[in-house]
Structure 1
Amino acid sequence: MQKATLFATLEQAVVAGDKQAARATLEIAHAADIAQAIHEFTAEQAVRFMSLLSLPDHANLFGYLEPNAQAEIARVMTRNDLAALFSQMEADERADLFNRLSKEDQHALLPGLAQAEREDVRRLASYPEETAGALMTSDYATLRGHWEVRKALKRLRLEAPDKETIYQTYVIDGDRHLIGTVSLRELILANPDRLIEDLMRTEVVSAKVDDDQEEVTKKIRHYDLLALPVMDSEQRLVGIVTYDDAMDAAVEEATEDAQKSASVAKLDAPMNQVSGWELYRKRVFWLVLLVFGSLLSGAGIAYFEDTIAKYVALVFFMPLLVGSGGNAGSQSAALMVRALATGEVAMKDWAKVLGRECMVAGALGITMAVAVFALGLFRGGFEIAIVVALAMISVVVAGSLIGLCLPFILSRVKLDPATASGPLVTTIVDATGVLIYFGFATFILGL
């Protein structure tokens, strides 16, 4: 069903208060598509539509909404309705929503929750953002090593409706220490009389609650896991990160890196929902800062104004040379930022990567120098051509090395390497290129 048609159908159901039409729409369209159409509603309209659904359907649909839309809708719900919704939501999703509510709304909501839910929300909401603790859910299944397979399967049948996944279950001891893991497939195929401790795998890949979510997604991808168990400081199992939550986190990280690579601070909402003021506020700092960085290029030009006045033909090649250095630097930075993010390159690889980049940048510079030498002959003669060719080699090498080194340096001082891409590299390389170009010109033409 197309978005416009879906929106019109939902709107009619809201206006008419037609529960049958609302539920029929859920049966026809996927909840993710309905959630996308609901973004066109006001928060009050969205609440009216969701009130036509059963509580489980309401919670399922709510989980597909964008985080900011969830928070906006939650603010206009009554305390009792919101508490009922919380009881049906997945543990990690309700903790995320709880953190987006105001302190006043949080205090109003907690008394309406059951004690176990209240404690679970408080615990999961207490972990810092972008850590394994903030990403994990407490809805996981556990078994004991001394149980028989028959008992384990019976337990899983009872727990399945309330757990996020039962395809991988975790074997714990009396103190909740993780001692092994067993898959549902292994349980189904095993002899019913066999003990879990004889069936489980004891070598378990896990994460700690304070691990960065980027490290968590790397582990899930590297080991091809359905879920990753999360341990506290005493090696007790406190949650799991499922692959779908890890994928959402990976998309979020990639989006944030893309924004940082353009020198834009992390946006608090999707691009089609963010306000003009928010876009201005997130972009203005770096743009103003880079304006002052560009003054270095201007200072370089001013320093060599005598050379420029004497050889006006040099001005023709300045955009070409400076742009080439910026392009080479942006390429190197983009490759290095991504390699650092995926773990393909580590700090120990510094010397190897630097040596290879010098050779590649030199080859690129020579190739581009050959291309511009003829142009230099045509526009300014042999001497100008020599200046342009030598400057091209030097600018491309310098730009590539700056683009390569900046991500390493930022990573070393615990800053995000993504910041090194795009405008920051270009601004630094531009100033460097001006100095190199006119430095060569002054030296060679002065001879």
Structure 2
Amino acid sequence: MQNSHDTMTRDPLASPNADLAQERAPEIVEALNAQEPPDAAKLLQSLPAEKAIEVLDLPGLDNTCEILAELPTDTAVSLLSGVSDDRAADIFKELIEPLRTTLLNRLNPDTRTTISALLAYPERSAGSIMTTEFVSVPSTWTIAEVLHHIRMVERTRETVYSIFVIDPVKKTLIQAVPLRRLISADPHANVLTAAPARKPLMIAPEADRMEAARLISRYDLLAVAVVDGPGHILGIVTVDDVIDAIVEESTEDAQKFGGMEAIDEPYLRIGFGEMIKKRAGWLCALFLSEMLTATAMQSYQTELEKAIVLTLFIPLIMSSGGNSGSQATSLLIRSLALHEVRLRDWWRVAMRELPTGIVLGSILGVIGIVRITLWQTLGLFDYGPHWQLVALTVGAALVGIVTFGSLSGSMLPFILKRIGFDPASASAPFVATLVDVTGLVIYFGVAALILRGTLL
């Protein structure tokens, strides 16, 4: 956690000679992000060591690895030794060899061991974002002893939101005591007298980091303990770590919804080649799948030649089905992520989306019929002598296509999750492509039934 200053916030970019040391850490980060790595490294090195560590501890600093590479090795090691262990682990994940090994080996043994342990946890796990800088005390201490201990170690701990009480023999977690309970309790009483009646919430280090986020959100926590099998506390996940994880997950999901691979750099910082690489694959896949639309239209070439008026409504039909599918996909991806629904609930979702799709399709179908009727009766366009049947075809097709779009859009995330893929990959463009092809089949199938013997 970063300490704020009482000075007025000024724009560090207003002058190249601005005294960055007097600015708040986030403003300094903004200034460094506007510089190339060599210049940013010079600015960082010019700051007091405490301020430089505070800046490096913020996840919003771009090109952290490039900046460290520009610093003298001794300076880089000193700064990394001062930042929180979880932040240092994040930085080491991005460092490339041989710099990574060089800096890691130069750290003191305790710090190196802690960071190496954090690096061993799977990416996106609770263990990968936990901090080992927490306050723990034995259950035999009095509240006065605990408060004295907090005053002694506060500057070396990332947070003192909660104090974790440990069994002095088994070294297992017994309780988590909020700091405010300690402040208001009898200083001569045992620390456990200030503990809540309920057991502390805990999470395994291998659990998904979003599970930690759900616990913190559901129970209004500031930190949740990470424990191993026997119950030894390994670290804690704090609310600010969870916020960073949620922002990262949301950014990646938004990019996947757009039909591209997630990027982990700011837009203006990512290289041109990397941008093409991230976007071209999905774009080509979507383009190839859209070719099925042309194949479907070729199959109905005879019908189109007989009733050219049907082509006027193809964009309307395709967009409506794609939109309904995208809506359902977005809702279900989010619900699965928040554990509001689980894989076993697929049939409940299907039974909910079926009538929803029928009603939504009926609404659009009525609007389509009214539109054709108005244009025909007002003389804005002539749909031919069988315009009533054309209107009925469009209306009925919209009911079928929107219903199919809602069902397929809601089921695709379940299918992807069941086979082990990220449900966010069921992006809106992918669903739209699927519904486009099937929508044409439904449209011309309905037309063949209604218009047979007249236009067809």
Q: 1:17 — aligned with what?
A: none
CA contact (8 A) 1:411 1:417 kept: yes
Q: 1:182 — aligned with what?
A: 177
Displacement, 1:95? 0.9
Aligned equivalents of 2:213, 2:39: Cα separation in 1: 36
Decide which of 11, 20, 37 is 2:31's aligned counterpart.
37
Decide which of 51, 54, 61 is 1:60's aligned counterpart.
54
Task: Output one character per residue of 1:151-209: Cα deviation in whole Å (capped at 9) or x when no partner.
Answer: 11111111111001112011112343111111111111111221123332450111111
Amino acid at match of 2:153: E
3-state SS of the aligned residue for 2:13?
helix
Q: 1:119 — aligned with what?
A: 113
Map 1:221-240 to 2 at 5 A.
Answer: 221-240=217-236
In the alignment, does 2:416 pair up with 1:410? yes
Aligned equivalents of 2:171, 2:292: Cα separation in 1: 60
**TM-score normalised by the chain length of structure 2:** 0.91
Aligned equivalents of 1:127, 1:441: Cα separation in 2: 57
Q: 1:98 — aligned with what?
A: 92
Decide which of 182, 187, 193 is 2:188's aligned counterpart.
193
In the alignment, does 2:131 pair up with 1:137? yes
Task: Output one character per residue of 1:122-150: Cα deviation in whole Å (capped at 9) or x when no partner.
Answer: 11122121111110010000011111111
CA contact (8 A) 2:161 2:223 kept: no
Map 1:159-308 to 2 at 5 A.
Answer: 159-173=153-167, 174-201=169-196, 203-308=199-304
Amino acid at match of 2:447: A
Q: 2:5 — aligned with what?
A: none
Q: Which stretch shows the higher mean deviation, 159-168 or 65-74?
A: 65-74
Structure 2, unmatched stretches of 5+, are: 1-7, 377-382
Aligned equivalents of 2:325, 2:263: Cα separation in 1: 26
Amino acid at match of 2:451: L
Q: 1:18 — aligned with what?
A: none
Aligned equivalents of 1:225, 1:414: Cα separation in 2: 31
Amino acid at match of 1:96: D
CA contact (8 A) 1:35 1:65 kept: no
Displacement, 1:2? 8.7
Amino acid at match of 1:69: N
Amino acid at match of 2:101: H
Q: 1:339 — aligned with what?
A: 335
3-state SS of the aligned residue for 1:228?
strand
Aligned residues: 434
In the alignment, does 2:21 pair up with 1:12? no
Instruction: State the Cα RMSD in Å.
Output: 1.8
3-state SS of the aligned residue for 1:103?
coil
Structure with higher helix content: 1
3-state SS of the aligned residue for 1:51?
helix
Structure 1, unmatched stretches of 5+, are: 14-20
Displacement, 1:413? 2.0
Aligned equivalents of 2:226, 2:59: Cα separation in 1: 26
Runs of 4+ in 1 over 4 A off after TM superposition: none
In the alignment, does 2:404 pair up with 1:398? yes
**TM-score normalised by the chain length of structure 1:** 0.93
Q: Percent identity?
A: 33
Displacement, 1:108? 1.2
3-state SS of the aligned residue for 2:295?
helix
CA contact (8 A) 2:119 2:128 kept: yes
Question: 1:187–1:109: structure 2 CA closer, same or farther, 3 Å change rule?
Answer: same
